Protein backbone atom coordinates (compact mmCIF):
# COMPACT_ATOMS: atom_id res chain seq x y z
CA UNK A 1 0.00 0.00 0.00
CA UNK A 2 1.59 3.28 1.10
CA UNK A 3 4.35 1.82 3.22
CA UNK A 4 7.57 0.96 1.49
CA UNK A 5 10.67 -0.73 2.82
CA UNK A 6 11.97 2.50 4.29
CA UNK A 7 11.57 3.42 7.95
CA UNK A 8 8.35 5.41 8.18
CA UNK A 9 6.48 6.94 11.08
CA UNK A 10 2.77 6.25 11.49
CA UNK A 11 0.51 8.37 13.68
CA UNK A 12 -3.02 7.28 14.55
CA UNK A 13 -5.58 9.88 15.63
CA UNK A 14 -7.59 8.10 18.31
CA UNK A 15 -10.58 10.46 18.29
CA UNK A 16 -13.07 10.38 15.40
CA UNK A 17 -12.87 13.16 12.81
CA UNK A 18 -15.49 14.65 10.52
CA UNK A 19 -15.21 12.51 7.40
CA UNK A 20 -16.38 15.37 5.19
CA UNK A 21 -12.86 16.80 5.59
CA UNK A 22 -10.56 16.50 2.62
CA UNK A 23 -6.82 17.05 2.16
CA UNK A 24 -6.76 20.58 3.58
CA UNK A 25 -9.09 19.85 6.50
CA UNK A 26 -7.15 16.77 7.57
CA UNK A 27 -3.80 18.52 7.23
CA UNK A 28 -5.18 21.27 9.51
CA UNK A 29 -6.15 18.56 12.05
CA UNK A 30 -2.61 17.15 11.84
CA UNK A 31 -1.16 20.57 12.62
CA UNK A 32 -3.57 21.91 15.24
CA UNK A 33 -4.87 18.81 17.04
CA UNK A 34 -2.07 16.27 16.63
CA UNK A 35 0.79 18.78 16.72
CA UNK A 36 2.67 17.32 13.75
CA UNK A 37 3.75 18.50 10.31
CA UNK A 38 1.54 17.01 7.57
CA UNK A 39 4.38 17.48 5.06
CA UNK A 40 6.91 15.44 7.04
CA UNK A 41 6.32 12.22 5.10
CA UNK A 42 4.73 10.49 8.08
CA UNK A 43 1.47 8.57 7.65
CA UNK A 44 -1.55 9.97 9.53
CA UNK A 45 -4.58 7.72 9.99
CA UNK A 46 -8.02 8.96 11.05
CA UNK A 47 -11.13 7.08 12.14
CA UNK A 48 -14.82 7.63 11.55
CA UNK A 49 -17.40 7.78 14.34
CA UNK A 50 -18.70 4.28 13.59
CA UNK A 51 -15.20 2.84 13.40
CA UNK A 52 -15.72 1.07 10.07
CA UNK A 53 -13.95 3.72 7.96
CA UNK A 54 -10.45 5.08 7.84
CA UNK A 55 -8.81 8.02 6.05
CA UNK A 56 -5.06 8.16 5.63
CA UNK A 57 -3.08 11.28 4.79
CA UNK A 58 0.55 11.21 3.68
CA UNK A 59 2.93 13.56 1.85
CA UNK A 60 4.71 11.60 -0.89
CA UNK A 61 7.21 14.37 -1.80
CA UNK A 62 5.03 15.52 -4.73
CA UNK A 63 1.67 16.12 -3.05
CA UNK A 64 -0.73 15.11 -0.30
CA UNK A 65 -2.24 11.67 -0.82
CA UNK A 66 -5.51 10.75 0.85
CA UNK A 67 -6.66 7.13 1.05
CA UNK A 68 -10.18 6.17 2.14
CA UNK A 69 -11.05 2.64 3.23
CA UNK A 70 -14.35 1.17 4.44
CA UNK A 71 -14.48 -2.33 5.88
CA UNK A 72 -17.43 -4.43 4.85
CA UNK A 73 -19.00 -6.48 7.62
CA UNK A 74 -17.01 -5.25 10.56
CA UNK A 75 -14.87 -2.47 11.92
CA UNK A 76 -11.28 -1.56 12.54
CA UNK A 77 -9.70 -2.31 15.93
CA UNK A 78 -9.33 1.22 17.29
CA UNK A 79 -7.70 2.22 20.59
CA UNK A 80 -9.69 4.15 23.19
CA UNK A 81 -10.02 7.82 22.27
CA UNK A 82 -8.02 9.10 25.22
CA UNK A 83 -4.71 10.62 24.22
CA UNK A 84 -5.56 11.99 20.80
CA UNK A 85 -2.61 10.45 18.92
CA UNK A 86 -0.48 7.32 19.22
CA UNK A 87 2.45 6.05 17.21
CA UNK A 88 2.26 2.72 15.40
CA UNK A 89 4.96 0.62 13.81
CA UNK A 90 4.58 -0.06 10.08
CA UNK A 91 3.65 -3.67 10.92
CA UNK A 92 0.95 -2.56 13.36
CA UNK A 93 -0.41 -0.11 10.80
CA UNK A 94 -0.53 -2.83 8.14
CA UNK A 95 -2.52 -5.06 10.50
CA UNK A 96 -4.91 -2.20 11.33
CA UNK A 97 -5.39 -1.42 7.63
CA UNK A 98 -6.31 -5.06 6.97
CA UNK A 99 -8.88 -5.02 9.78
CA UNK A 100 -6.80 -7.19 12.12
CA UNK A 101 -6.01 -6.62 15.79
CA UNK A 102 -2.90 -4.42 15.51
CA UNK A 103 -2.25 -4.66 19.29
CA UNK A 104 -1.29 -8.32 18.83
CA UNK A 105 1.61 -7.40 16.50
CA UNK A 106 4.90 -7.51 18.40
CA UNK A 107 8.47 -7.25 17.26
CA UNK A 108 10.52 -10.38 17.89
CA UNK A 109 14.05 -9.63 18.88
CA UNK A 110 16.49 -12.36 17.98
CA UNK A 111 19.96 -12.26 19.48
CA UNK A 112 22.75 -11.93 16.99
CA UNK A 113 25.16 -14.86 16.90
CA UNK A 114 28.48 -14.10 18.48
CA UNK A 115 31.58 -14.34 16.38
CA UNK A 116 34.28 -16.74 17.47
CA UNK A 117 37.54 -15.03 18.33
Could you tell me which of 58, 76, 78 has the C-alpha nearest to residue 67? Answer: 58
What is the CA 25 to chain-centroid distance, rounded? Answer: 17
Q: What is the pTM of this model?
A: 0.80
HSE (side-chain half, CA atoms, 13 Å) at 112: 3
List alpha helices for the chain, DSSP H.
23-29, 90-97
Dist CA 45 CA 30 (whole Å): 10
**Domain spans, the chain:** 10-104
Q: What is the pLDDT of residues 36-74, one digit of tens each?
A: 999 999 999 998 888 889 999 999 999 999 999 998 887
Amino acid sequence: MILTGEKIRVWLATRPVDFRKGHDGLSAVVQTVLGHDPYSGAVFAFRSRRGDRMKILVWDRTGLVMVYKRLEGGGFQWPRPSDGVIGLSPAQFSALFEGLDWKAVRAVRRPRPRRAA
